[in-house]
Amino acid sequence: MIWISNRSKLKKLLWRSAAVVFLLWILVETAPVWAIAEPDNLRILSSRCYGEAIDTGDILCVIHYDIAYASVPTQAASETFLGRYMDGGSVPLKTTAPFVLVSNGYNQGIMSVYFSPTDVTDLGVVYGDATDTLQIIGSPAVFGSPQSVSLNIEWISETDSQDDIELAVRNTAFLLEAQVEWAGTDLLIFEAGFTSAILTGTLAESSGEQYFSASIPNLRLMAPNLFSARIVAPSNVETVGSASYVTTLDDFFVGSKLEGSFDGLASELGLSVRMTKTLFVGLPLSFIVVTLVIVFLTKQEGITPEQISATSIIVLFLMMAATSKVGWMDFRVTAAIGGLSIFALGAVYFLKRAS
């Protein structure tokens, strides 16, 4: 019995071992093989940094790279190469990777590293440090001994760098379009009158905006003029109010036979001329017209009381607005009654339906 029991346990152990071996074989066979050949050439064509790209105290760094392959690898460059900001040329502070649009991300392209004001403080980044570099290096997960290349930073502008970033992106787009790998990919739309000396225009809405927005996050905030649809701060113009329009209303009848016709009455009543016209002309005339409208509507078949009320309110407001325009109604009275008209219309339609 003991022999049978040991044999059963041995059999279970063998089955479990076989299952583990099978699973390991599946993992090995299905795992991607990342080893690729070294690039034919690895260069940094430019390494530039800009201050105040978005906020005061931030730094944007852009690498224009060339990871040259005569035969482009099947693995994307975003998985095989990294861009790094090197403090003092030896300590990596931030890492990025190429965005893949054409040629699997290889040959010429750009990538960027952005330091927010908080990053600059926490990481101790100093604008203009001559010892700092930008670097491209092969991923250690792909290359046994990763090849790398570094270039000292060209510090472009410490403050208000939006115009410099805009010009640099246009120039880079122009240079990339001239490369064989980028042939047929529109990155930049040139404005009329374009010359090679003055690069103007916006990024193409498809490839251009997609590539540069992904390669330089928040580029739309840094250089809005590069985009056909732009994010810009609104221009607030402070205006100073005046009573000049009141004077215009009061002077409506100046030079006519009606000029000064209410001056005596206003003096007797102790009111302003405008308020006197309101009481004796504007309001009576408005109510007369409204009364006529109500009489007309009540004689029509199929007109509901709610429709008569709503129409009367609207006509009253329009009459008061018209008499205000010719100086027969105080504008403040018109505004007050107009506000009450809105509540009245609401009561006619919504309260009636709710009940």
User: pLDDT tens for residues 314-347?
Assistant: 777 677 666 666 666 666 666 676 666 666 666 6
State residue 307's pLDDT score. Answer: 72
Confidence of residue 30 (pLDDT cuts 50, 70, 90): very low
Mean pLDDT comparison of 91-95, 205-209, 244-248, 295-299, highest-scoring range = 91-95
Q: Are 73 and 106 in contact (CB under 8 A)?
A: yes
pLDDT per position as a tens digit, 273-305: 667 676 666 677 777 877 887 777 777 777 777
| Arithmetic mean of pLDDT over the chain | 79
Pairing assessment for the beta strands 41-51 and 154-157 based on DSSP bridges: parallel
CB-CB neighbours of 302 under 10 Å: 5
Of 29 and 245, the structure prediction assigns the larger pLDDT to 245
CATH number for the segment(s) 41-226: 2.60.40.10
Which residues partner with 111 through β-bridges?
A: 63
Of 279 and 75, the structure prediction assigns the larger pLDDT to 75
State residue 328's pLDDT score. Answer: 61
Confidence of residue 156 (pLDDT cuts 50, 70, 90): very high
Give whole-number Cα distances, 218 to 45, 64, 134, 221, 342, in Å: 23, 18, 20, 5, 45
Of 115 and 251, the structure prediction assigns the larger pLDDT to 115
Q: Where are the domains of the chain?
A: 41-226, 244-354
